[in-house]
């Protein structure tokens, strides 16, 4: 099978993210990492390859910092990688990104399955995967927790996806786009050999011209970024001689907040 | 013709999800400010009750596609039908609740209509006739103002960020029928079955959440049954007793049960209960954190709760920086006592 996995680089989840005086987003010296949700997508793509043969190509659109994410995915076991960068892509939104990713899928050609993460933890939108599917005109199964069957020869697959009510089991045809939920299972750690191989890998860069694409229009603008207002809370510590006394006082305080 | 502000009604097997009504409330607010009418949009099969409910919650009009191909939510027929209806009726705005289906459909409708989509907003305002939304980014570490150019503007609303309107059973209005866009033969995706989880309050919709963390297993005095000897199994067994106490308090308060990732990873409780950056993002009126340290990734999921209460043995635990009320103490003693106190005060004893 020819498998693609799209990944993004994001600041580590533990980073303290702030808007500086110039209005730019900063995260100090916190590391950039493979978007945590994309680790599950890489894991699912690799398991699919291991079960059905073929190769996994990891693709990220972004400047050189995207190599952090790409190298992690390569170290986990992806076969090769492509990075997309173009000065005209300095600004983007989910739909403009989806238009570029669609062109990538079409340029690579003969792709059987495209894997996405649930969402990128910077913008937290989760829109790009279904949008890319819709633009390709391919079936989409979002938030896949497990595959019941993938039949590359018959061009069919069945997946369980997570919804509020539990799981919806869907079958569809290939080629298809999926996004992967955390329920899929823990992503593997890169092996020592994998890390060495990834460090040496040459990652080709494609521009918009390579994709035969004009820069897609950006429709969503972010005119302002702010640090959220400080939570104006001073914790009132409830004390007492016995748990019962503390509980009594705490229950009264909570009742007085009128949130019950 | 006055502007249509659409509110998409998300439902499971014909039963609307509560945040759909929040979308109608938000559509009414926009309709007043922009000059227009709030229109509910319902896709499904056998949706008469949902249509009536949408009127009760304040829709001036309901657009409905009622068809066998729409009996179950599937992205293809839902997105195409919605896009076709939008092309016919030209709404200025389409609001969605940010449920799993709502977010997905907002995205696909945006792609189908070549329109900008703003996901998971917590606030919005009309400035010079433009909708200016506010949405958390970087897991709520920052807030972004976001504006979409062109029409329709597609916006999904964070669950519980907008008020649910009062229902008024005397209200009704005009029903506009639209056709399903695809025939069954054109739809590649088929529903095989559902594996639904057993009832309980949904975390994202819950007004009250009682959560447990790693501290829930920390009761060395509690002796495990003799057949459990493995250290890990003893820890999980203790944690299950701890979550029983949390569950009892939750039941008294009509609350949902949440958990930290540490509790989920250690196998104390299933992942569906995880609150945080890689779990669910919640904004209840009351969040009671028991034996949770309050790591930044946990905060990302709950910092927007109205009143936060923390019970933790460590006075330095970061959770106390967010909490309105704190108890430095053993959850194994405080939680059952709190349950008894509430039972008495709420007349449930
Ligand atoms: C990529 C990534 C994503 C993550 N996503 C999430 C996420 O979505 N959600 C999440 O929660 N975490 C997440 N984490 C993990 C997070 O960093 C913390 O490790 C986790 O939240 C800690 O859980 P905890 O508070 O239960 O455990 P601990 O940090 O171990 O805290 C346990 C607390 O219980 C207290 N305690 C112990 N015994 C008792 C007792 N008897 N009574 C009262 N208090 C007691 C202790 O004082 C301590 O404060 C993520 C981490 C990473 C790297
Ligand atoms: N710049 C990008 N390059 C490659 N993949 C991306 C990019 N942005 C988003 N994605 C993919 O789309 C998913 C959802 O991202 P988002 O819609 O931004 O939340 C991510 O988890 C990635 O799999």
* The token pair that represents B232 in the structure block: 């890990």
* Cβ pair A236:B101 closer than 8 A: no
Contacts of B293 (CB under 8 A, 6+ apart): B213, B214, B260, B312, B314, B317, B318, B319
* Interface confidence (ipTM) of the complex: 0.95
**Chain B closest CA to A105's CA: distance in Å?**
16
B299 lines ligand 1 (CB under 6 A): no
pLDDT in tens, A81-119: 999 999 999 999 999 999 999 999 999 999 999 999 999
Which range (A17-31, B173-187, B304-318) has the least confidence? Answer: A17-31
For strands B256-259 and B208-212, give the pairing: parallel
Q: Which fold has domain B203-345?
A: Rossmann fold (3.40.50)
On chain B, the residues whose CB falls within 8 A of the CB of A130 are: 75, 104, 107-108, 111
For strands A176-180 and A140-151, give the pairing: parallel
The number of domains in chain A is: 1
- As a dihedral over the C-alpha atoms of residue B256, residue B262, residue B263, residue B267, rounded to 10 degrees, the angle is 130
User: Considering only alpha carbons, which residue of chain B is nearest residue A125?
Assistant: B119
Domain that holds residue A202: 2-211
Sign, Cα dihedral of B267, A146, A126, A103: positive
Whether residue A88 lies inside any domain: the answer is yes
Rounded Cα–Cα distance for residues A113 and A124 (Å): 23
B295 lines ligand 1 (CB under 6 A): yes
B332 lines ligand 1 (CB under 6 A): yes
Is A209's pLDDT higher than 60? Answer: yes
- Peptide bond just before B310 cis, omega within 30 deg: no
* The token pair that represents A21 in the structure block: 């005086």
* Cβ pair A170:B307 closer than 8 A: no
C-alpha neighbours within 13 Å on the C-beta side of residue B324: 17
Find the helix or strand (DSSP H, E) in which B191 lies.
strand B190-196
Question: Percent of chain B beyond pLDDT 70?
Answer: 98
Rounded Cα–Cα distance for residues B110 and A129 (Å): 12
Which of the ligands is closest to the CA of residue A36? 1
On chain A, the residues whose CB falls within 8 A of the CB of B210 are: none
**Chain A closest CA to B314's CA: distance in Å?**
12
pLDDT-based confidence at residue B200 (cuts at 50, 70, 90): low
Residues 107-126 of A with CB under 8 A from B: 121-126
Whether residue A107 lies inside any domain: the answer is yes
Is B247's pLDDT higher than 90? Answer: yes
The predicted structure's pLDDT at residue B1: 55
User: Considering only alpha carbons, which residue of chain B is nearest residue A220?
Assistant: B148
Rounded Cα–Cα distance for residues B253 and B339 (Å): 9
What's the mean per-residue pLDDT of chain A?
96
- The full set of domain ranges for chain B reads 3-186, 203-345
Which of the ligands is closest to the CA of residue A44? 2
* Cβ pair A14:B192 closer than 8 A: no
pLDDT-based confidence at residue A232 (cuts at 50, 70, 90): confident
The predicted structure's pLDDT at residue B46: 97
The predicted structure's pLDDT at residue A146: 97
Residue among B144, B192, B285 minimizing CB distance to A171: B192
User: Does residue A127 belong to the interface with chain B, where contact is any CB pair within 8 Å?
Assistant: yes
* Cβ pair B208:A18 closer than 8 A: no
Greatest alpha-carbon span in chain A: 74
On chain B, the residues whose CB falls within 8 A of the CB of A162 are: 100
Rounded Cα–Cα distance for residues A142 and B37 (Å): 33
Atom 19 of ligand 1 has which residue's CA nearest to it? B262
**Chain A closest CA to B172's CA: distance in Å?**
29
Q: What average pLDDT does range B60-89 have in this prediction?
A: 98
Ligand 2: distance of its center to the CA of A123 in Å?
A: 9
Same fold, B3-186 and B203-345: yes
Is A53's pLDDT higher than 90? Answer: yes
Is B227's pLDDT higher than 60? Answer: yes
On chain B, the residues whose CB falls within 8 A of the CB of A244 are: 337, 340-341
**Chain B closest CA to A67's CA: distance in Å?**
20
Q: Which residue out of A126, A128, A175, A182 would a mutagenesis test of the B interface target, given it has the greatest number of B Cβ atoms within 10 Å?
A: A126
Q: How far apart are the first and last CA of chain B?
A: 58
Q: How far apart are the first and last CA of chain A?
A: 54
Q: Which CATH class is domain B3-186?
A: alpha beta
Q: What residue has token string 């890169």? A: A190
Nearest ligand 1 atom to alpha carbon B279: 8
**Chain A closest CA to B71's CA: distance in Å?**
13
The predicted structure's pLDDT at residue B199: 58
The predicted structure's pLDDT at residue B121: 98
User: Does residue A96 belong to the interface with chain B, where contact is any CB pair within 8 Å?
Assistant: no
**What CATH number is associated with residue A159?**
3.40.50.620
Burial class of B317 by CB neighbour count within 10 A (0 to 12, 13 to 18, 19+) = buried
Contact A145, A161 (CB under 8 A): yes
B102 lines ligand 1 (CB under 6 A): no
Residue B207 is given by DSSP the state: S
pLDDT-based confidence at residue B267 (cuts at 50, 70, 90): very high
């Amino acid at each position: 099978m020819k498998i693609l996995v799209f990944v993004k680089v994001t600041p580590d989840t533990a980073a303290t993210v702030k808007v500086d005086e110039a209005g730019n987003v900063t995260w100090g010296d916190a590391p950039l990492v493979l978007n945590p949700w994309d680790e599950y997508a890489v894991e699912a793509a690799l398991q699919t390859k291991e079960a059905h043969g073929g190769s996994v190509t990891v693709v990220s659109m972004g400047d050189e910092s995207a190599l952090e994410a790409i190298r992690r995915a390569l170290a986990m076991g992806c076969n090769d990688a492509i990075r997309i960068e173009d000065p005209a892509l300095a600004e983007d939104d989910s739909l403009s990104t989806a238009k570029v990713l669609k062109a990538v899928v079409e340029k690579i050609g003969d792709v059987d399955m495209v894997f996405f993460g649930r969402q990128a933890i910077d913008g937290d939108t989760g829109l790009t995967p279904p949008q890319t599917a819709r633009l390709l005109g391919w079936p989409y199964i979002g938030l896949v927790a497990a595959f019941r069957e993938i039949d590359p020869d018959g061009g069919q697959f069945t997946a369980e996806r997570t919804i509020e009510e539990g799981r919806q089991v869907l079958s569809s045809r290939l080629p298809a786009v999926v996004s992967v939920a955390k329920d899929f299972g823990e992503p593997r750690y890169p092996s020592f050999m994998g890390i060495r191989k990834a460090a040496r890998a040459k990652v080709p860069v494609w521009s918009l011209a390579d994709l035969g694409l004009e820069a897609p229009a950006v429709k969503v603008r972010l005119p302002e970024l702010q640090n959220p207002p400080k939570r104006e809370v001073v914790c009132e510590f409830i004390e007492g001689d016995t748990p019962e006394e503390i509980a009594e006082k705490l229950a009264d305080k909570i009742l007085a907040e009128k949130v019950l | 013709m006055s502007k249509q502000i659409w509110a998409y009604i998300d439902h499971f097997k014909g039963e609307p999800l509560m945040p759909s009504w929040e979308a109608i409330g938000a559509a009414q607010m926009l309709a007043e400010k922009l000059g227009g009418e709030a229109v509910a949009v319902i896709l499904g099969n056998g949706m008469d009750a949902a249509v009536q409910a949408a009127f009760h919650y304040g829709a001036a009009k309901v657009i409905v596609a009622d068809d066998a191909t729409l009996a179950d939510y599937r992205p293809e027929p839902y997105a195409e039908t919605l896009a076709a209806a939008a092309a016919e009726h030209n709404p200025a705005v389409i609001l969605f609740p940010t449920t799993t289906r709502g977010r997905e459909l907002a995205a696909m409708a945006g792609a189908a209509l070549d329109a900008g989509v703003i996901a998971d907003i917590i606030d919005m305002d009309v400035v010079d006739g433009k909708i200016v939304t506010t949405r958390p980014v970087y897991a709520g570490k920052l807030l972004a103002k976001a504006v979409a150019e062109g029409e329709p503007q597609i916006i999904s609303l964070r669950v519980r960020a907008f008020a649910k309107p009062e229902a008024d059973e005397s209200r009704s209005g005009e029903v506009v029928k639209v056709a399903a866009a695809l025939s069954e033969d054109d739809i590649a995706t088929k529903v095989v079955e559902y594996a639904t989880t057993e009832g309980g309050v949904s975390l994202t919709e819950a007004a009250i959440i009682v959560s447990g963390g790693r501290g829930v297993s920390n009761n060395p005095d509690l002796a495990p049954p003799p057949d459990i000897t493995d250290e890990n199994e003893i820890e999980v067994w203790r944690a299950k007793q701890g979550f029983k106490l949390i569950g009892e308090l939750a039941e008294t308060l009509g609350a949902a049960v949440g958990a930290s990732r540490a509790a989920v990873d250690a196998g104390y409780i299933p992942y569906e209960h995880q609150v945080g950056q890689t779990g669910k993002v919640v904004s209840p009126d009351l969040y009671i954190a028991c034996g949770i340290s309050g790591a930044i990734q946990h905060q990302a999921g709950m910092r927007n709760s109205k009143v936060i209460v923390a019970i933790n043995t460590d006075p330095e635990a970061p959770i106390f920086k967010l909490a309105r009320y704190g108890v430095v103490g053993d959850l194994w003693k405080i939680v059952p006592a709190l349950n008894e106190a509430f039972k008495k005060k709420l007349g449930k004893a």
